[in-house]
Amino acid sequence: MTDKKSPHAFDPKPVLDLITSIEADLQRLKGLIEQQAEKFDPANPHNKTPDGKLTEEGVECCYRMFDDGKSRYTVAQQMKISFAAATHRFNGWRKLGGKKRTRALLG
């Protein structure tokens, strides 16, 4: 027998390093997505101004709920706004094209 490695010898270290790198990237991506999910929270206090009016983020949150097929009643309940306010936002959403509208970035 010789001391030379077989041409079919398998060194697992590069593969394990690659898996570790991919796992780290996936964890980073998961964190980014979770942050986005948190921003789309109907009960988030940033959705309203101190006087109770919807902020731009709050309006976009309403619109995204309409995008998802939520009713005005559901939007009113989850956003803690009146049905009339939800109806007003629904009409604004429709004027912007409904599901075909351009989504605003949530910041």
- Give the start-to-end residue ranges of the domains of the chain: 15-100
pLDDT tens profile 39-72: 568 888 889 998 989 999 899 999 999 999 999 9
| 2: three-class secondary structure by DSSP | coil
pLDDT at 92: 96
pLDDT tens profile 70-104: 999 999 999 999 999 999 999 999 999 998 988 87
Contact 85, 58 (CB under 8 A): no
Quick count: other Cβ atoms within 10 Å of Cβ 27? 9
Contact 104, 67 (CB under 8 A): no
